[in-house]
Amino acid sequence: MSITASPPAVRSIYLPRSPCGTPRVRMTVRSNAVTVVPILTKLQKDCATPLPVLRHVADAMAADMRAGLAVDGGSDLKMILSYVDSLPTGNEKGLFYALDLGGTNFRVLRVQLGGKDERVVATEFEQMSIPQELMFGTSEELFDFIASGLAKFAQEEGGKFHLPHGRKREIGFTFSFPVKQTSIDSGILMKWTKGFAVSGTAGRDVVACLNEAMERLGLDMRVSALVNDTVGTLAGARYWDDDVMVAVILGTGTNACYVERTDAIPKLQGQNSTSGRTIINTEWGAFSNGLPLTEFDRDMDAKSVNPGEQIFEKTISGMYLGEIVRRVLLKMAEAGALFGESVPENLCTPFVLRTPDISAMQQDTSQDLEAVESILYNVAGVKSNLSMRKIIMDVCDTIVKRGGRLAGAGIVGILQKMEEDSKGLIFGKRTVVAMDGGLYEHYPQYRRYLQDAVTELLGWEISKNVVIEHSKDGSGIGAALLAATNSQYEHDF
């Protein structure tokens, strides 16, 4: 973006303290556009993702995957075994439930499966927000809240949903935080991410936590599959399409999983699955190798609940993109007088600007950017003119472009690793990457930047075979399908 202006008249003013609590001397100028240009230019340079940067990220992702498969703790990527060795076939029948705890919302779902002929007969779901205080509360409080939501939902069962006589209701539990899986229906929480800091759960089996909460309520249900949301998404998409090999979540947080050959997992040490394949949960949010970071990323990371961790997630996922933009705008307000002589107080509040806000601003095609004006005013208490709004759009685009392109490079890294082990089995045929999550679903610019990066890295011919497909709410249905696949009851095929 180039702005030309004659040298402005300058006066120096002393502001004893900004609304954010930092004393400062600031130079203000008549044309605020001029003073923020160096900040914007540096941001664009620091966030740049030319092809060599993308290539480095993809190669580093593939190398970190191999190191994580070789030995536990071998890289930033945990490369967790999912114990999902058999994927849904379409033959599954019966009533199954799913619970999905993956971020700021919690979902309960039921699905009636009718086998090959009828497939999914009916589904119902309900979504509840997790109260902020429970994200920082105790394990019992969180799991009691989940169990009570499930109990209420189960009471409303009827219509097309039938549980065969003498059976216990079975649940696929989608738990989208780093868990060291110990079997298909148990796993130890390694740590909370996505802004959660619940006490008393780390180091415990999360299925046991849920079972205890259900017992406290007298709820007679059984978890028959514990899955990560990416694993659930892969299973749900694979039910309809045999070419699905990778699943990626891009929402509040982010993760990816893929189908791996068991003979390519040194740390398995001789354990074999019946199919010779299993799903690996990469936990790619922890990746950090060669990412283009800015002062705003470093500052946000330092002040986060998990400093130094989840760097890829903090660069590409929905929880953080709006916050990075807010930090840039705050610096532009303080050092560059973006909003005149005062710094809007609301802009000092961490996470006041959310990713849906910056997405809505980027969808504004009006001549005067009226939606941008109203979002800035309603969310941050900011009054803006057109030149300010154009700068803010440039900031949003810079952060989102970097996020989408890095996510695309991560996907190529996974595909590269699979192709190196099985020449032609990935790039030589149609390969589907199932995508879920609100960020991917609702942010068209992000989607476009992600696809552009995949095409640039793979070239036009190969990228034609790589189908990136939206799999809406796949993880919920997928978890219910995996509960069916791992049911304690014989299927009546």
C-alpha separations of 425 from 261, 290, 430 in Å: 12, 28, 9
Q: Which helix (H) or strand (E) holds 250?
A: strand 244-250
Token pair recorded at residue 389: 């709004």
229 is an active site residue: yes
Q: What sign does the dihedral 89-95-99-100 (CA atoms) show?
A: positive
Looking at residue 2, its pLDDT comes to 42
Strands (E), 356-480: 431-436, 466-470
Q: Crossing angle of helices 444-463/386-421, nearest 10°? A: 40
- Name the active-site residue from 78, 93, 194, 314: 194
β-pairing, 24-29 with 10-15?
A: antiparallel
pLDDT tens string 404-416: 999 999 999 999 9
For helices 444-463 and 355-362, angle between their N-to-C axes, nearest 10 degrees? 80
pLDDT of residue 271: 66
- Please write the tens of the pLDDT for every residue from 113-159: 988 888 888 999 999 899 999 999 999 999 999 999 999 999 998 88
- The catalytic residue among 76, 144, 185, 229 is 229
- The pLDDT value recorded for residue 367 is 95
- Domains of the chain in sequence order: 83-240+473-485 (3.30.420.40)
C-beta of residue 232 within 8 angstroms of C-beta of residue 294:
no
What per-residue confidence (pLDDT) applies to 490? 65
By CB atoms closer than 10 A (0-12, 13-18, 19+), residue 159 is exposed
Could you say which residues of the chain have pLDDT below 70? 1-19, 21-34, 270-273, 490-493
pLDDT at 446: 98
- Contact status, residue 107 vs residue 301, Cβ threshold 8 Å: no
d(CA 93, CA 270): 33
Handedness of CA 304, 305, 308, 313 (dihedral sign): negative
Q: What's residue 157's pLDDT?
A: 87
pTM of the predicted structure, to 2 decimals? 0.85
Closest CA to 246 of 408, 106, 69, 104: 408
CA distance 433 to 441: 14
Task: Give one word for 263, left, alpha or beta, with left for phi > 0 and alpha for psi -120 to 50.
Answer: alpha
- CA 473 remoteness from chain centre: 13
pLDDT of residue 164: 82
- What one-character DSSP code corresponds to residue 338? T
Q: For residue 480, what pLDDT is reported? A: 93
* Residues 6 or more apart whose Cβ sits within 8 Å of residue 59: 413, 416
